Structure 1
């Protein structure tokens, strides 16, 4: 539960406060002071809003578990292929070094 001193703000109020920070060009502290709320609360709301927007932009990170499993499988396969390529290149480099020493 929350402290008896914790204020609860509606989602609409939070959205309006976040928009005020973004559109006014003022600091979070200035806007919080004007609204009479804690600057740390407002800073947290802005941070959560940015994270939510970033999450909406990147589908694989916020995808379903099946999509993430497929992505993980694809990346593991790619890692194995790249490791094989690196080994071949190391052997080729060693071969050409020996050939140039002759």
Structure 2
């Protein structure tokens, strides 16, 4: 069971909306004090809202998959290098007349 939320969702949505619609952008710390929330909580809500709109950044799942694929790629390159070296070694053993 997830932990109960300290701040209601309506407050989160309203705070993010207030930050976005105000011009010029207010300081997060001042807005947080006005709303009675912790500044880092507000900063996280704004960051989450912006992350959902950005197409140029990877999601957490995509980032984890990228890390896994990069590790797999390194392992496959290492295996290919071992197979290439073994192939050259055994080819030299089978054909002793071949210059080295």
TM-score normalised by structure 1 residue count: 0.43
> Which structure shows the bigger proportion of residues in helix conformation?
1
Higher relative contact order (CA 8 A, sep 6+): 2
Higher Cα radius of gyration:
2
